[in-house]
Amino acid sequence: MTVLNRSRTRRFSPSVRPDYRAGLGGGAKGGSELVVAGPPRPAACQSAGLARMLAQVSRSELTPERMDALLEHLPILRGVAHDPAERWEGGQRLPDGSFTLPYPVYRAEVLRFFEEAAEPWWTDYAYSPDAAAAMLDDPSAVACASLDQIRSMLTYCLRGERFCDGHWESLIRSGKLTSLLERLAQLRPPDR
């Protein structure tokens, strides 16, 4: 059976479950095949030094106007919090016996917010997904987050959809994303 999920393709024999603990060498139990698409990342992209340098450049580009551009989405995200996705697609069995995994089709307003959040000045290239998720799950951590911590959590929010369809919907429905933007509004320097 082949399971298709937009750009990711996984092939499994229907009678066996893949063993993800086997690592890169083992694949799945019972001879099933795990196909991972995409080119390997260049070594330079994995360098912590490069990540720190990019973070410094990005941080210096963060202006009150750029903060405002992101904060403009706050009332819009509050308005679509009950239903950030227009619909879910996928989940059908195809004629060849394979299944497509369900995925959300987000409202245009949600996509515009995440396009703005994807700008380099909002990206923390050296973020820790686990640390960012833990901060985002703790309302008291969000309430006192620094600008760098907000950037880390925004990076986690943005990238999470790549690994888990519906991640953005969950963040918006739970109010975590709006809480993060409310904290950003508190940190925005006043106009002169």
- Give the pLDDT confidence of 24-54 residue by residue, as tens digits: 343 444 443 333 334 444 554 455 555 555 5
Measuring CA to CA, which residue among 73, 65, 67, 84 is closest to residue 178? 73
In the prediction, which pLDDT does 9 show?
39
pLDDT class for 170, splitting at 50, 70, 90? very high
CA separation for the pair 97, 131 (Å, rounded): 40
> Do 103 and 165 contact (CB within 8 A), yes or no?
yes
Residue by residue, DSSP assigns 85-97 as: EEEEE--PBPTTS
What is this structure's pTM? Answer: 0.69
Give the model confidence (pLDDT) of 83-132 as tens digits. Answer: 999 999 999 999 999 999 999 999 999 999 999 999 999 999 999 999 99
Q: How many CA within 13 A on the CB side of residue 179? A: 18
In the prediction, which pLDDT does 61 show?
84
Q: State the average pLDDT over residues 57-71.
A: 84
